[in-house]
Amino acid sequence: MTRLIALLVALLLAVPAASDAIDPKNPTCPAEPNWSANPAMKFTAQKKDGRTILFAEGAIDDGLVARLQAALDKNKPVDEIWLRSPGGNAEIGNQAGMVIRKAGIPTHIPNGWACFSACNFVFMGGPIRSVEPGGLFIVHMFTFTSDGGVIAAEAQRGYKEAVSTIADVEQGSAMLASEDNDFLIRMGVSRKLLTEVMYRQKAVAVAGNDQSTRRCLTQDELFKYNVANVH
């Protein structure tokens, strides 16, 4: 019986934890990134070694900037902001990043936490930025039409409607790309992050062998593009 129990324990230890499983469609990333299920980002202040850490956890919604500013005012001085988020409104993410830069507060992604999509720009607002080994900075190609059914529905209505929708998407994408470039310049992050990584991802999964739509940066890449600037 003792040998049987020992064998069962060994087998259990040999099975990787679910959180460590690799996403088969996005092999640079885990299958279940820890980016918080909060539908709107929440702010919680904690004291660590005499420093005030502001935990920022959840999705980036339209009301984020006002809540962020209120949290900074309530808990001042904030020494560092820790982020985990599945992203959300890209424009609001840029605005929140600018608030953080104006306040001069460092940002951090701790081991086991994930910062995806619009969260990237909140994080890059920190003048001092760090990502622990095991922390995830996850990028993708933004899109205004992640639901391909939008264009398909317009195509059903007619040629002119489809062309009009596509033109609106192109214009919106160009404006956001311009804003992203400007933001990276202001934050001191290499614009090659956009051209060499973000913009090379697929906006939506398509048929074929490569269905990847997101990319987890390595520690070397974080420093190569100056996303992280301290260890």
Please write the tens of the pLDDT for every residue from 144-169: 544 444 445 555 666 655 555 555 55
pLDDT of residue 29: 96
pLDDT of residue 143: 61
- 3-state SS, residue 45: strand
On whether the CB atoms of residues 121 and 148 are closer than 8 A, the answer is: no
Show pLDDT as tens, one digit a residue, over the chain (231 residues). Answer: 444 334 333 333 333 333 579 999 999 999 999 999 999 999 999 999 999 999 999 999 999 999 999 999 999 999 999 999 999 999 999 999 999 999 999 999 999 999 999 999 999 999 999 999 999 999 998 765 444 444 455 556 666 555 555 555 555 566 667 888 999 999 999 999 999 999 888 776 665 677 789 999 999 999 999 999 999
- Taking each helix axis from N to C end, the angle separating 64-74 and 90-103, rounded to the nearest 10 degrees, works out to 20
Locate 212 and state its tokens: 């990847």
- Domains in the chain, start-ordered, CATH in brackets? 24-143+196-224 (3.90.226)
Q: For residue 78, which of 113, 57, 47, 123 has the smallest C-alpha distance?
A: 47
